[in-house]
Structure 1
Amino acid sequence: MNLIPAYPEIFLLIATSAILLIDMFVSDAKRNITYVLSLVALAGAAALSFYSFEAGAVTYTFNNMFVSDPMSHLLKLFTYLGTAITLVYSRQYIVSRGMANGGALGGEFYSLSLFSVLGQMVMISGTSFLSIYLGLELMSLALYALVALRRNDAVSTEAAMKYFILGALSSGFLLYGMSMLYGATGSLDVNAVAKAAVSGTIKPTVLVFGIVFVVAGLAFKLGVVPFHMWVPDVYHGAPTPVTLLLGAAPKLATFAICVRLLVEGLLPLAIDWQQMLTVLAVLSLIIGNVTAIAQSNLKRMLAYSTISHMGFVLLGLLSGVVGQSSNGAVGAYGSALFYSITYVLTTLGSFGVIILLSRSGFEADKLEDLKGLNQRSPWYAFVMLMLMFSLAGVPPMVGFYAKLTVLQAVLNAGQVWLAILAVMASLVGGFYYLRVVKLMYFDAPVDNSPIVASGDLRFTLTLNGIAMLALGIVPGGLMAACETAIGQSIGHALKNLASIAA
């Protein structure tokens, strides 16, 4: 059996297990070593994934249950980056809040975070219903525990219960849909399911029922309307570092299984799942943006913002195929991938500012806590301005280019009304982002205490904000990488669709 394609996963599993053991024997005073080793583990996995990404090969292993391809490695690289940024932002928060081990750096947070990343890696590379589901559960179980890490906090405990119950429900939807697809096609292999769908020997009714449950399960994980009820409560109730872990890298893994299941496995039935995605996208864009306006809590506002942004990702996914033509598929799915990556980077910075302003006994998670930030720290007010402008889609920030590429894909698919609706929803969303800017620059501060933060947090947050501007000015490299990765990874699915059209 060829283990080379899974070297990043194997390395991270060994490293995380070693970190877990080392942390048991490290004194509280020296527990900072856990933080450093976690970053080293992510860097090592990133080096292995980057080497494979440069090679550009598509390799299957474990009886075609696992694939090493450009899309998987690109998503893994940004998963490592997102998690590493989260750990940097979180270190001081964990120490000051005493989230574990009597106030010292708690190894539980780092070990569970790395196991969550391992689950995401398996999800990203899974090409079998079995491997995708195992990766999903590994990621989810670690996140359930992280949300409940503040055991004595009633709000966190309530959020963990909601997340666990609704997460189990969504996993049940997804598993039931997979079982129906397996019953119809006789295979757990995504590629074999695609071939069976192309053959025309299977009654489409059974496949469509399976697709309905699969899409419902994926919608829960993305947090789109009407499967969004857990998002604001969990974002609000979880410790802010855990909210970062929930709202960032897992979105990339969920995007990956959307592509694996819907595009690679069920592209011949695109007309069926595209209609469902259209409904989900429209509801998410409208309800996410409108509801965010009424929020006074910054974390809840960003949660509803997430719902609307996932609606934009769905717009890219539903624009790849028109009839039986896949001419715009690579561009559409590439735009959705680009949007997902840039959204993750932007939301990392937004929550990073919340952590920057927080201190022991004070969570800077209300909108009023941002009042007068420009008077307290002009530079970090400007960083937050760049992040809000990117989320709102204001040029020249990267959010503008990300929205533009998705809207181009929607227009190329002939969905003019959908593009107009998305633009109108974005205009509504601009209100609550600009409200944050107004509070920072035009209101008097309610808190004049000095902003105390570690040097690594300040440095990383600065780079995070500048990256949003730099990627907006020069987006071509990342966009080309996204389209190339998508094109090389779904080539066989496009060939299957072309054979039907012929």
Structure 2
Amino acid sequence: MTPTMPTPADLLPLLPELLLVGGAFALLLLDLFLPERRRLLTHLLAIVLLLAVGVLVAAGWGGQGTVLAGMFVRDNLADVLKVAIAFVSAAALVYVWPCLRERGLYRGEVSVLVLFAVLGMFLLVSAGSLVMVYLGLELLALSSYALVAIDRDSRIASEAAMKYFVLGALASGMLLYGMSLVYGATGTLDLAAIARIAAAPAQPVMLLTGVAFMVAGIAFKFGAAPFHMWLPDVYQGAPTPITLFIGSAPKLAAFAMAIRLLEVAAGPLGPSWHPLLAGLAALSLVVGNLFGLVQANLKRMLAYSTVSHVGFLFLGLAAGGAAGYAAAMFYAISYAIMAVAAFGAIVLLSRRGFEADRIADFRGLNARDPWTAGLVLCVMASLAGVPPFLGFWAKLAVLRAAVEGGLLWLAIVAILAAVVGAFYYLRVIKAMYFEQAEGEEVAHPRDDRLLRVVFGVNALGLLALGLFWSPLMAWCQQAFA
């Protein structure tokens, strides 16, 4: 039987990705002909494109379905994560422009690289095959490496980019090796077909070994301990708005990769990989919070905070089941919003020659600007899990999932770790409200009305979503219904 060529109607589920890649190439060409003073146009069009794609996905345009011979799957899970990725990435681009332009680092390819990174995330979220998983992952990774190295004259940024590239290549190699073992054991690249073969009573050692390597690769991409060694240096060395981007939206794509590879493909082997995730969660909670206590640099502190938050996210994944995965997705989306706000505070308070990336730089901020200090307080309280902010409900959801999944010991470890972790967030609050600024270099909010409005909406949104978190949780539950 001769295979039929797909018609345009068959490719409708790919509509968001087609719009994104077409827009990215159009902006790449447009930037070649724009003078330097009008480069803002490229940036604004990139933000509009991301918002348009997010609205398109939320409205369900193109419909759901499976295309490209099963390699691409658009379902509820994909739509929820794509909407979150599009809006988080658009918010990140708002923070990027004033900071990089002021330092002379903004180039037209910044927006284009962000768009290609988002495209890689979209492909990763909708992967129905091991090939699509790797294609999306590498498109995201290569774009991220270039973004971290955008400040070519900075030795710290160049060092961070090299570490990110080398260790990222190691993680990709581990993941690819695991995929090759899974393919060798099953003879197929299709995730659903792998699940059917994995459901057989007896499993070859090659398949179990491949799954173990995939877990390690996923942990590396998340930044879970003990695979977190790249995270602090990259977060500190990259320009702050770039750190804001790579520390938020890609975590949603990593969550999708974990679901596609572990639940969709290796779901029948859950008793083998659930304990691995539980161990990684416990180690991440301990390492992230203990090392976060001794950091003086705010970006490094937030990096170790990320390790801790990945530990909380792994609670839901380790618990398994629809409730556990929905709680983990709720946590991933919540953390992405909180990460944008946390690094956005540094962007707002920085200026050329003063990065505002030390905790000491926040001393006396309440005396200079009580409104901004109050917004930063909201961000730190949400990260610490203080009620009624969004972070509290996210932690509560994964803790409940862990207890219901029979992981009481892990929930106890997480609660103790949360108490320890609250201390380093309180250090920032203490510096703002109870310490006096020293020297002439102090943090002042930059005079950028749009940036201040976006940060205010971002920070107060953590309170609003904390008070009305049920719709977001219901959305996540619907993805696993």
Structure 1 counterpart of 2:102, from 78, 96, 102: 96
Q: 1:112 to 1:449 in 2, by over 3 A?
A: closer
2:125 is the counterpart of 1:137: no
Q: 1:60 to 1:427 in 2, by over 3 A?
A: same
Q: Contact between 2:20 and 2:119, CA under 8 Å: does it hold in 1?
A: yes
Deviation for aligned residue 1:58: 4.4
Aligned with 2:60: secondary structure?
helix
Q: Contact between 1:181 and 1:207, CA under 8 Å: does it hold in 2?
A: yes
Q: 1:31 to 1:198 in 2, by over 3 A?
A: same
- The equivalences for 1:80-95 within 5 A come to 80-95=86-101
2:379 is the counterpart of 1:387: yes
Whole-angstrom distance in 2 between the partners of 1:76 and 1:373: 36
Deviation for aligned residue 1:113: 0.7
Deviation for aligned residue 1:70: 1.0
Greater displacement, 215-224 / 372-381: 372-381
**2:3 equivalent in structure 1:** none
Whole-angstrom distance in 1 between the partners of 2:399 and 2:173: 33
**1:75 equivalent in structure 2:** 81
Q: Contact between 2:164 and 2:230, CA under 8 Å: does it hold in 1?
A: yes
Structure 2 counterpart of 1:428, from 420, 423, 441: 420
Structure 1 counterpart of 2:347, from 334, 350, 355: 355
Equivalent position amino acid for 2:257 in 1 = I
Q: Contact between 1:393 and 1:403, CA under 8 Å: does it hold in 2?
A: yes
Percent identity between the two aligned chains = 47
Write the deviation string for residues 454-496 of structure 1: whole angstroms up to 9, x where unpaired.
1111111000011100111111000000000122xxxxxxxxx
**1:269 equivalent in structure 2:** 269
Equivalent position amino acid for 1:175 in 2 = L
Whole-angstrom distance in 2 between the partners of 1:14 and 1:159: 31
Deviation for aligned residue 1:203: 2.8
2:312 is the counterpart of 1:304: no
Whole-angstrom distance in 2 between the partners of 1:472 and 1:38: 30
Equivalent position amino acid for 1:384 in 2 = V
Equivalent position amino acid for 1:35 in 2 = H
Deviation for aligned residue 1:403: 0.5
**1:459 equivalent in structure 2:** 453
TM-score between both structures, scaled by the size of structure 1: 0.92
- The equivalences for 1:388-407 within 5 A come to 388-407=380-399
Which runs of 5 or more residues in structure 2 are unaligned? 1-5
Aligned with 1:199: secondary structure?
coil
Whole-angstrom distance in 2 between the partners of 1:69 and 1:112: 26
Give the alignment's Cα RMSD to 1 decimal.
1.2
Q: Contact between 2:89 and 2:249, CA under 8 Å: does it hold in 1?
A: yes
Structure 1 counterpart of 2:38, from 30, 55, 64: 30
**1:332 equivalent in structure 2:** 324
Write the deviation string for residues 183-202 of structure 1: whole angstroms up to 9, x where unpaired.
111110000000111133x5
Deviation for aligned residue 1:30: 1.0
Aligned with 1:3: secondary structure?
helix
2:227 is the counterpart of 1:243: no
Q: 1:185 to 1:448 in 2, by over 3 A?
A: closer
Q: Contact between 2:113 and 2:147, CA under 8 Å: does it hold in 1?
A: yes
2:400 is the counterpart of 1:408: yes
Whole-angstrom distance in 1 between the partners of 2:435 and 2:112: 41
Whole-angstrom distance in 2 between the partners of 1:44 and 1:461: 21
Structure 1 counterpart of 2:471, from 457, 467, 477: 477
Whole-angstrom distance in 2 between the partners of 1:278 and 1:28: 51
Which runs of 5 or more residues in structure 1 are unaligned? 101-105, 321-328, 488-502
Equivalent position amino acid for 1:34 in 2 = T
Whole-angstrom distance in 1 between the partners of 2:289 and 2:301: 9
Structure 1 counterpart of 2:48, from 40, 55, 59: 40
**2:336 equivalent in structure 1:** 344
